[in-house]
Structure 1
């Protein structure tokens, strides 16, 4: 995880990284990766994860714009 954090943190536009182990089983380790910054290239991130031997399983949140929009519970939740 340290290598992933360092390498992903060096990608153009990435200002911060946060990695945490979400799940471990016999064959895989699921890591939640959060990147913050401006103009981060998804393709660059995906390519680097693949070069490190990982795969992108899903993208659960994307935020854009001039200000942060807080996620709040609704009746649908």
Structure 2
């Protein structure tokens, strides 16, 4: 299986723990070099947060388990980059 270098996930989480606490838990995982968290939407019960995770060898199952351990759930995987390096998107005529 190819090495995951970048993972962008949409996460639904309760108000607690904080977005910072969840990002910190993910950042502490082996193979993760950095995490970016952006609040997309907030309502009375949950927050919708986009996490961009980069690293040398991201283990999706470990990320998923860590997210779930905080009481949150991955809503969708929005981007994944695998291989020796991250390939940047190239514009096409449809863009």
Output the CA distance in 2 between the equivalents of 1:52 and 1:27. Answer: 15
Compare relative contact order (CA 8 Å, sep 6+) and give the higher one, 1 or 2: 2
- Pairwise CA RMSD: 1.3
- Pairwise mapping of residues 1-77 of structure 1 onto structure 2 (< 5 A)? 1-77=19-95
Q: Tell me which stretches of 4 or more aligned residues in structure 1 moved more than 4 Å.
A: none
TM-score for the superposition, normalised by structure 1: 0.88
Structure 2: give runs of 5+ residues left out of the alignment: 1-18
Deviations 1:3-62 (A, max 9, x none): 111111111100001111011122211000011001111111000100101000000100
Higher percent of residues as strand: 2
> SS of 1:53's equivalent?
coil
